[in-house]
Amino acid sequence: MLDKTFGSLPTEAEAAPVPEVVAAKPPRRLFIPLDVPQTVVTFGGPAFRRSEPDFMAAYVVNHILGGAGLTSRLFREVREKRGLAYSVRENLVWLDHSAMFLGNSGTCADRADETVEEIEKQVRDIAEEGPTQQELDDAKSYLKGSQILALNTSSKLARTLQQQQLDKLPIDYFEKHNAVVDGVTLADAKRAARRLWGDGLLTIIVGRSPRDAAQPTTMPPAITPPPGAQQLDAAPTAPPN
C-alpha cells in the first residue's frame, strides 16, 4: 500500500538554496501602542556566527552584559539598583544564515522610557569601554561551571549534543570547551563588544504611549511596522577609536 501510494515520489528532494539574511541596521526604536498595564521591551541587532573566530569572545562578553544569573550589568542596573523590571535578559542567537543578539524586559508603562534609556546606556558603556578584568574572570568561571550542568540529565545531554552537531563542532569539543573560554582575553572581549553593540540597538516597545513619542516616520525596508506603530528617535552609539 505504501509503495503504491508513494512509490512514484522521488527518493530525494532537491533543496532550494537559502539566501543570507540581511539584518536591519540599528539604531531604531519602534513603538507599537497597546493599552496594557505592562510594557514589553525587545531589543537586538546583528551578531557573530558560530564559525567566526571571535564567537567565544562575544559569548563571554554577552554573558557580562545580560546573561543568565544575577550578576549581569543589565540585571544589576535595571532590576537590582533601580527596580525598573522584574527580569531583563539578553542572549546570542546563531543560525546557518543569520546571527543576532536578542534581549527583552517587561516594566510598568510609566517607567518604560527610563527602562529603555538605562538598557541603552549599559549597552553604550560596554561597547565603548568593554568589560573589566574582574567581570571577564567571573564570566569565564560561570560559563565553565555551567558547561557541566548542561550534561547532568539525559535531556540536557541530548540537547547539548544536538547543538554541537548543528554547530559542526568536533566530537571532543567538550574536552576543549573550558580551554577555549579561558583563551578569551580582555582585548578580545572589548573587540567583540565594540562589534556587537557599537551601532546601538534595534528596539521594539509594545505598550502604552511613552511620554516622548515622536511622530511616525518611514521605517527601513527591512522592517514593516504594523498599523499604529511609531518610530522613535534613537541616537547611534559611536564606536571608540
Q: Model confidence over 118-169: pLDDT tens digits?
A: 999 999 999 999 999 999 999 999 999 998 888 889 999 899 999 999 999 9
Answer with the residue of higher pLDDT: 221 or 83. Answer: 83
Torsion of CA 116, 103, 47, 183, to 10 degrees: 110
Q: What are phi and psi of 207, to 5 degrees?
A: 160, -160
What is the CB neighbour count within 10 angstroms for residue 205?
A: 27
Percent of the chain at pLDDT exceeding 90: 66
What does pLDDT average to over the chain? 87
Q: 17: Cβ–Cβ under 8 A, 6 or more apart, which residues?
A: none
The answer to whether 232 touches 214, Cβ cutoff 8 Å, is yes
Instruction: Tell me what pLDDT residue 141 has.
Output: 96
- CA–CA distance, 84 with 120 (Å, rounded to integer): 14
**Amino acid making up residue 195:** R
Stretch 56-78: mean pLDDT: 95
Instruction: Tell me what pLDDT residue 80 has.
Output: 96
- CA–CA distance, 209 with 131 (Å, rounded to integer): 34
| Structural element, H or E, at residue 135 | helix 133-149
Q: Which of 25-29, 34-38, 57-61 has the lowest mean pLDDT?
A: 25-29
Q: What are phi and psi of 102, to 5 degrees?
A: -145, 125
Inform me whether the pLDDT recorded for 220 exceeds 50. no
> Which CATH number applies to 24-232: 1.10.1060.10, 3.40.350.10, 3.30.365.10, 3.30.830.10?
3.30.830.10
Inform me whether the pLDDT recorded for 23 exceeds 70. yes
102: which 3 cell numbers? Answer: 536578542
The answer to whether 186 touches 133, Cβ cutoff 8 Å, is yes
- CA–CA distance, 71 with 65 (Å, rounded to integer): 9
Answer with the residue of higher pLDDT: 4 or 126. Answer: 126
Instruction: Tell me what pLDDT residue 211 has.
Output: 54
Q: 98: Cβ–Cβ under 8 A, 6 or more apart, which residues?
A: 20, 21, 23
Instruction: Tell me what pLDDT residue 235 has.
Output: 47
Using pLDDT thresholds of 50, 70 and 90, give the confidence band for residue 214: very low
213: which 3 cell numbers? Answer: 513619542
